[in-house]
Structure formats: structure tokens, C-alpha cells
A and B are shown apart, each in its own frame.
Chain A
Amino acid sequence: MKQEQPVLSLRNVGISYKRRIFSEPFWAIKDVSFDLYHGETLGIIGRNGVGKSTLLRMMAGIIKPDTGTFVNNGYSASLLCLQLGFIAHLSGRENAILSGMLMGLRKKEIKAKIDAILEFSELGDFFDEPIATYSSGMKARLGFSVAFQVDPDILLVDEVLGVGDERFRQKSTKVMQEKIRSNKTIVFVSHQAAIIEQLCNRVIWIEEGVSKAEGTPKEIFAEYNKL
């Protein structure tokens, strides 16, 4: 597996933010290197605020590294975004179309998936009502159902697996786990060791913006949990 060409490749990547044009940059990521291979589920673990989300944004092509190199060998990569661009006064159907288009689908593609979204979200007649009338659980269901229909080559997941009330949480977690177990390339970011251990083939450990260790979940967590 390690001999094939990686889908994404990071070498000594550093990413900084600035509060003002002339202020000192803040380095969220200092020196991170790893490769992502086709079909694997890679976990990225680290404490809150070590720049995991920043790293995902770069992999999604939203920002670029300030130092080091990042190569995407021609694959689409996107973040799993829940309720992206939702507008309160529009119906569930309209929001699904808008959200899908914002995530990069063509209008006809998302329209072809609208029945699947309606069914999975279990919204029934509410689907054509403004989402301002939804409970937060209903909104979460719609958000997940839309996001799940977007199918990039590389799926980037930040913390959330399941959403909504308890029953929908189980259902959404289940389909996500199915997707993860299939041959899909996934990067999964969390500070919860248990979920990563359960789902990932390989783990990268990031500490203070630096990739500290890489290996099987077992190897990494033996070290990680000591801290």
C-alpha cells in the first residue's frame, strides 16, 4: 500500500494567521508532514487548538500553506459541512438545493438526489416548509442528509459523526461508519481518542502544530494516553 502514489502529500507544512496586516503572525501549524493514500481512513489526533481544523481547511483547498509543500494529485476533497449556507426563511427543499450547490454540486445533480435527502431526513411534509419553523433536531437532520449526499474523492470530517436526536444520531453514525469502512478515502479529525481508535487505519498525532508521531492507532494511543 505504501508504494502507490499518495492522493495528498504534505511536507513540512506551516500555516499562519494574522490578526492585523502588520501584526505578528500566529502559527497554527508549524511543521506537519504525512501522506494520505487511496482508500484509507486517516485519523488526526491532538488536543483542542493544535490546528487540526486549519489542516483540514488546507486539505480542502480553502487555504494554502505559508511554508512547506502541499500536493493534491488531482482529487476532489471537501469538508463535511452541516447546514452550510442555510437561510431561515427558505424551505427545506430550497435550502437543500442551495447548500448542495455551495458544496460544489451542479443544480441537476442535487435535484436528482433530493428524494434521497427527503427520505433520509425523515422530514415528510415539513420539507416544503421554511426551516425557520424547524426544531434544531430537524435542522440537524436536514443538514446531515444534504452533506452526506456530496461525495468527494476525499472526505474530510471534523469531529462530528452523528447529529440530531438519539435515534437519528445512531442512524447517521451508522451510515458514516459504513462510508468509512467502504473504500472511501477519509480524514477524520478528533480530540476523542476512542472514536479514532475505533474507525481509523492509521493515525497522525499533532502536538503544538508539529506532527509528532505516525502509526497504527494502537501504537499512537499507547503514547498519547500517557500524556
Chain B
Amino acid sequence: MNLLFKYTELILYKTYADLKAETERTYLGFLWWIFEPVMYMSVFYVFFGILLGHRTDDYVPFLLIGLTSWQWLKSCVSHGAETIKGATALMQQVHLPKVVFPIILVLTDTVKFLFILSLLLIFLWLYGYSIGIAYFALPLVLIVQMLFVLAFTFFLAAIIPFVPDLRFVVENILLALFFMSGVMISSDIVPEAYQGFYHLNPIVTIIESYRDILMHNVWPNSSALLIISVISLICIWLGAKLIARFEYIYPKIIV
């Protein structure tokens, strides 16, 4: 129990330290956590909203919701996959439970995501969407996505130190997932024959849940979200077990 407090304290301080270090690296500091997503979103607004004329329908908000959720997942997974491998020098000097490294990264990226989420909400309100009763489900969907992200990240972080080559595979798996997760398309344009498979992808459900809440004021599919949470929790537990299994092996890997 004491150890749990000790490591929680360490995780929080290291997250704070990493975030602060990032803001100190540039002139504008933490303002980049706002400007960068604004620039990113503007690109999509100009291309789809103005150039392709989707200004009146709801494609731009539809797309930005998908992209916001996706970027959070992608940054956590692609950075998080490298965390244990990247901590080799540190772990050769002190004993630390290796699971803290992916957790710190997910927390750091989540703090940055919260800025982007706030911007998205402001954009949606300016665009004409209002806050409905379904907003109460928003924290729940965020937690479900966080659990899913942690599970995914733990597994990759556990394996990458042994097979560094996987990094290239991960990039392309993420690209494939991007197209298969309904970031840009609505699920009803997927052919009938593939609908079942398509919805096996938890990210589809998560992104649709955000759209239900933020655009349609509809309560999301609770049972699907519950199933995703339970499976994610089991995978987090397994992933942590896997990392713990190699606790004393990681510092011995010669890079």
C-alpha cells in the first residue's frame, strides 16, 4: 500500500515534470497545446468546409470529433509503445516497476488532449450545437477510451523492447486503424456484409459515442461501452502482468 502511494506520487511528479519541460522548450510554451490543434483543425475546416463545400451540413463537426478522439489514442499508443525501451538507461540505475513508464506517457498526453477537447467543445458551441442532458455521459466515454488506450499501450510497451522492429509495424497498424475506425466516415456507408466486423473495432463505438453525445444529444450505447471497459480492464491487468513478468529482464536488454 505504501509502495502504491510512493509510485503514484512519482508518476504524478514525473508527469508534471515532463509537461513543464515541454512548455519550457519553446517561446510560446503551453500555448502550443492550444495553437497546434487550432492549426490542425483549421486545415480540415478549410479543406472540407470551404473547399469541398460542407459548410452547411454537419460534416466538419463530425470529422473534428473523430479526429480529436483519434489523435488522443494515436499519440498515446505511438509514443507509449516506446516508453519502456526508452527508459533503459534509467532502469539500469534504479529499480522501478516498469509499468510506470507507459502510465506517465498516457497521463502526459491526456493532459494535452484535455486542452484539445476544450477547444473542440468551444468550436461545437460556436457552430450551433448546444449542451444537452447526454453530456453527463461524456466523462464515462472519456474513461472508457482511456482504459482502452492504456490496455493497447501496455501491450506494445511490453513487447517493443524485445522486438524493436515492431515500431514500423505499429505505425502502419495505426494507419489502418485510422481508416477502419470511422474517423472520416459514418458507419452506415460500410457495406452490409462487413457491418458486424466493422463494429468489432472498439474505436468505432467510442467515436460514435462522442458524436451521439456532442451532436445528437443521444445517450451512447451503454452496453457496448461496458463491454469495452471490461475487456480493457482485463487487458490492462494482463498487460501489467506481462510487464511485471519481464521486470528484471528489461534492464538486461542490450540496445
Contacts and interface: CB of A to CB of B under 8 A. Distances in A.
A94 B92 contact: no
Contacts of B90: 84-85, 102
A220 B9 CA distance: 46
Given A101-B10, A102-B90, A102-B94, A63 B252 contact: yes
A105 to B, nearest CB: 9
Contact of B96 (A87, A94, A98, A102): A102
Contacts of B253: 18
Residues of B in contact with A, size category: 20 to 34
A interface secondary structure, majority:
loop
B162 A21 contact: yes
B interface secondary structure, majority:
helix
A104 B95 CA distance: 9
Nearest to B247: A64
A64 B248 contact: yes
Interface string B19-44: 01100110000000000000000000
Interface in B220-255: 248, 251-254
A13 interface: no
Given A60-B95, A87-B21, A107 B254 contact: no
Contact of B94 (A17, A64, A79): A79
A140 interface: no
10 contacts: A18-B253, A18-B254, A21-B163, A57-B251, A60-B94, A62-B92, A79-B94, A90-B24, A98-B14, A102-B14
Given A17-B254, A98-B13, 5 more contacts: A18-B253, A78-B94, A87-B17, A90-B20, A90-B21
Interface of A: 15, 17-19, 21, 57, 60-64, 78-79, 81, 84-85, 87-90, 94, 97-98, 101-104, 106-107, 130
